[in-house]
Amino acid sequence: MTATTAPPRRGPASHARADRDGRRRSPVTWFRGGGLSNLVFLLPLILIFGVFSWFPIVRAVIMSFQETNLVSDPTFVGLDNFRQVLNDPLLWKAVKNTLYFAFLALLFGYPIPLVAAVLMREVRRARGLYSALAYLPVVVPPVVAVLLWKFFYNGSPTGVFNTILGWVGLGPYPWLQDASTAMPSLVLAATWAGAGGTIIIYLAALTSVPPELYDASEVDGAGLWRKIWHVTLPALRGVLFITLILQVIGTAQVFLEPYLFTGGGPNNATLTILLLIYRYAFQNSLGGDYGAATALSIMLAAVLAVFSILYFRLTRSWSTS
């Protein structure tokens, strides 16, 4: 009589392998694999995240279809808020200004941290001091930074920038009072305030580049520019793509500089989308038009979400190759 061997018992690891092999999980295998305990540990995080993240998003979507000022009872108006926003001539002015700000911020604010990080990487001594100085503007309170830059941007001949330019026979310029110079002035202040964090990110990424690659390039007779082009930039490709999309999203949501420096002026030359949302919510009628504000917020979020998805799809192969 032939002895039969009982099949081995399947543990959690076996169930996990079965899941990876594409087999359907039953409630029993989910429970035996530790699913209930995982859910118990995740439940507080899910509740906190739901209350402070998901609920406001759902509430904003609901408010975008209502006429409400958070004082009187809300009234369902369907798509009227979206039509009101799209028919507002200030919307397209705000979109144009936001795109202009994003263009200038990418033109100047995107390469400056990279150049600074690469130069600091080549410094042999006092690199920590330079890193601290580069990050210092990030820790300066925004209101203090705005007061400082307003002092620099004083349009009188005795202003700091006008005094310096006066030494070479230029100026004075009405930096924040002129529509042609107000937005570039805001971009300069925003770049100064935010470049430090990006520099630290690039410096951290540069530490993962093997020094042997630089040594090999020096043996081959490569100068600084060739080392940057053939060693540094390929090593930072993934980080560069991430910081680019983060900067695009950040500039599309610019609010602090236009609000504190100019309030959207002169003549709405620095009015941005987020500043227009703020005006809808707090500066229109008694209690604000929160329906229009949330409608414009949903539209902005949708545009940024679609842009982000397309960006990651198009750059997926570039960032990993």
CA 10/CA 311 separation, integer angstroms: 43
The DSSP bridge partners found for residue 57 are none
Q: Indicate if the pLDDT at residue 115 is higher than 80.
A: yes
CA 33/CA 121 separation, integer angstroms: 48
CA 262/CA 267 separation, integer angstroms: 10
Region for 4 from its dihedrals, namely left if φ exceeds 0, alpha if ψ lies in -120 to 50, beta otherwise: beta
The pLDDT of residue 321 is 58
Question: Highest-confidence range of 19-33, 70-84, 224-238, by mean pLDDT?
Answer: 70-84
Please give the backbone phi and psi of residue 72, each rounded to the nearest 5 degrees, phi first: -90, 170
The answer to which of 29-33, 74-78, 117-121, 143-147 has the lowest mean pLDDT is 29-33
Q: Which domains does the chain have, with CATH numbers?
A: 34-77 (no CATH), 87-313 (1.10.3720.10)
Please give the backbone phi and psi of residue 76, each rounded to the nearest 5 degrees, phi first: -75, 125
Could you give the angle at which helices 179-206 and 111-122 cross, rounded to 10 degrees? 40
pLDDT tens for residues 264-309?
888 999 999 999 999 998 876 566 788 999 999 999 999 999 999 9
Q: Indicate if the pLDDT at residue 1 is higher than 50.
A: no
Extract the tokens encoding 51: 């209350």
The pLDDT of residue 228 is 77
Percentage of the chain exceeding pLDDT 90: 26
- E-strand spans in the chain? 66-67, 75-76
pTM, rounded to two decimals: 0.80
Mean pLDDT of the chain: 83
Q: Are 195 and 137 in contact (CB under 8 A)?
A: yes
CA 201/CA 175 separation, integer angstroms: 32
Position 3 confidence tier, pLDDT thresholds 50, 70, 90: very low
pLDDT tens for residues 197-254?
888 888 888 888 877 777 787 777 777 777 777 788 887 888 888 888 888 898 888 9
CA 230/CA 213 separation, integer angstroms: 10
The pLDDT of residue 67 is 87
